[in-house]
Amino acid sequence: MTGADDRLKVLVIGALGKMGRAVCDAVSDEPDLELAAVVDAAGREVVWAGPAAAAAAYVSLDECLEKEKPDVAVDFTTPGAAFENVTACLKKGINCIVGTTGIKEHQLKQIELECRLSGASCLIAPNFAIGAVLMMDIAQVVARYMPFCEITELHHDQKLDAPSGTALRTAEMIAAARLDCPEPPGPEGNVARGLAHHGIPIHSVRLPGLVAHQEIIFGGQGQTLTVRHDSISRQSFMPGVVMAVRRVASLDGLAVGLEKIM
């Protein structure tokens, strides 16, 4: 039986967003976790509700970090805000989990440096759905034998970045797995063929009614093979988030991808 003093204290940043609310619910449902504090700039205009209403609530992360001492911070905000939020938490020695996509390469290097300086750990995952991680692993296996492929990713119309972080990560993993593959006929410069990332076309769809979906179509001589994953609700991400909260402290510095703790 986990005592109250043994529970991991969790801070959720972006707690009033759709993913933030789902994370608050998921953390509150776990007996070994405590939703200790929540932060959201919209807190001035929006009424805190659900588990977030019982936690210490702030509109300023700086004020929160002055008063609270969480073990883990979970960020689902925006690319611009997430980088500043994470560096602020790491400087305080707080382990971080980031579900916000769109963080730049130079920012990742700075986050890695902050991890080394503070001794804290950070996990950045483009997708917390365990099935999506398995999809990417399967794609790497297929790519060794069928190296030519294209990716289509479909998300809700409120998603800020395109292509998605999952699609970009998938393309990088496929490119690393391909053996002696000549560069595919280039889609560069041909918008109808999608954005090329590591030579792999990525097509982005943004529509109401969608949550998060991705398929990779591999083509070979006389055959195709499609690998697809669908998140039909945001609940699909919560087992991965909870796993990350429990395991992030075991990481050595910065890690990218949920597979690093699976």
Q: Would you place residue 51 in the very low, low, confident or very high pLDDT band (cuts 50, 70, 90)?
A: confident
The dihedral through the CA atoms of 182, 214, 245, 84 has a sign that is positive
- C-alpha 72/C-alpha 13 separation (Å) is 11
Catalytic choice (92, 156, 159, 260): 159
**Alpha-carbon separation of residue 93 from 7, 15, 23, 96, 99 (angstroms):** 18, 21, 22, 9, 19
Active site residue 155: yes
What is the tens place of the pLDDT at every residue in 1-46? 455 678 999 999 999 999 999 999 999 999 999 999 999 988 877 7
Same domain, 120 and 31: yes
CA-nearest of 105, 82, 114 to 13 is 82
pLDDT at 41 (0 to 100):
87
Same domain, 208 and 171: yes
pLDDT at 184 (0 to 100):
56
Residue with the bigger pLDDT between 53 and 28: it is 28
Same domain, 145 and 161: yes
Same domain, 158 and 184: yes
Same domain, 225 and 239: no
Same domain, 120 and 137: no
Same domain, 119 and 21: yes
Same domain, 91 and 56: yes
pLDDT at 1 (0 to 100):
47
What is the tens place of the pLDDT at every residue in 149-175? 999 999 999 888 899 989 999 999 999
* Structure-token pair, residue 49: 């509700």
Q: Give the domain CATH number at 145.
A: 3.30.360.10
Burial 176-204 (b: 16+ CB within 10 A, else e): ebbeeeeebeebeeeeebbbbbebbbbbb
Q: Would you place residue 80 in the very low, low, confident or very high pLDDT band (cuts 50, 70, 90)?
A: confident
Q: Which amino acid is at 122?
A: C
Same domain, 208 and 102: no
Number of domains in the chain: 2
Q: What is the pTM of this model?
A: 0.86
Whether residue 49 is predicted with pLDDT greater than 90 in this model: the reply is no
What is the tens place of the pLDDT at every residue in 189-201? 566 778 889 889 9
- C-alpha 95/C-alpha 253 separation (Å) is 9
What is the tens place of the pLDDT at every residue in 127-152? 999 999 999 999 999 999 999 999 99
SS (H, E, C) 87-127: HHHHHCCCEEEECCCCCCHHHHHHHHHHHHHHCCCEEECCC
pLDDT at 187 (0 to 100):
52
Q: Give the domain CATH number at 96.
A: 3.40.50.720
Same domain, 120 and 248: yes
Whose tokens are 């940043």? That residue is: 13
Whose tokens are 């001035």? That residue is: 44
Residue 137: which domain range?
A: 130-231
Catalytic choice (9, 155, 197, 203): 155
Same domain, 117 and 156: no
What is the tens place of the pLDDT at every residue in 85-141? 999 999 999 999 999 888 889 999 999 999 999 999 999 998 999 999 999 999 999
Same domain, 183 and 251: no
